[in-house]
Amino acid sequence: MDSKTIRDIIQQLFQDVYREMAESEPPLLTDDTVLLESGLDSLGFAILVARLEEETGLDPFSQMADAYYPSTFSEFVSVYEKSVASGSH
């Protein structure tokens, strides 16, 4: 994970899941993109979370002491960034 940031991995897997489910080109994600308006539905995000765990071993939602559900892409990424930061210290 040194060369790729967690944000890059999320972007890449988002695109993979999107192509797989929608069979079209994925939209560009910005920090303010509302997850459920990104074109991927809640099933898509559930799959994304499972694939991220498969790829990185990170499962931050299950490990959070205070459960939290992100609304926007930046909130989603920051959950994983915090998980990476806490794991590396």
Partner 1 sequence: MDLISPILLLPEDKVLVESVNFCLTVGCLRRAYAESVRSERLLDRRVGISFRSALPAVKAMVSLGGRAKELLLLPASLDKHVALDILSTARTELLITDQPTSLPAIAIPTYESIEAANSDASLGIACQPGAAVAPIETDWLLATSGTTARPKLVKHSFASLTRTTKTSSTQGIERVWGLLYDHARFAGIQVVLQALLSGTKLLVAPQHEPLNKQIDYFARQGCNCLSATPSLWRKILMCPSHKSLPLLQITLGGEAADGAILSALKNTYPTARIAHIYASTEAGVGFSVVDGLPGFPIQYLQCGPAGIQLKISKGRLFIRAPQMHSSYVNSDKMPIDEDGFIDTGDEVIEQKGRVNFLGRSSGVINVGGDKVHPEYVENVLNSHPQVALSRVFAKANPILGNLVCAEVALKTTPLDLASLKKEMIAFCRKKLKPYQVPATIKFVETLTVNETGKIQRNS
Residues interacting with partner 1, by CB under 8 A?
20-21, 34-37, 42-43, 45-47, 49-51, 54, 61-62, 64, 66-72
Q: Please, what is the minimum distance in Å from the beta carbon of residue 28 to partner 1?
A: 19
Residue 37 or 89 with smaller CB distance to partner 1: 37
| End-to-end alpha carbon distance in the chain | 15
Which H/E stretch holds residue 67? none
14 CB-contact burial (10 Å; exposed 0-12 / middle 13-18 / buried 19+): buried
Residue 47 or 84 with smaller CB distance to partner 1: 47
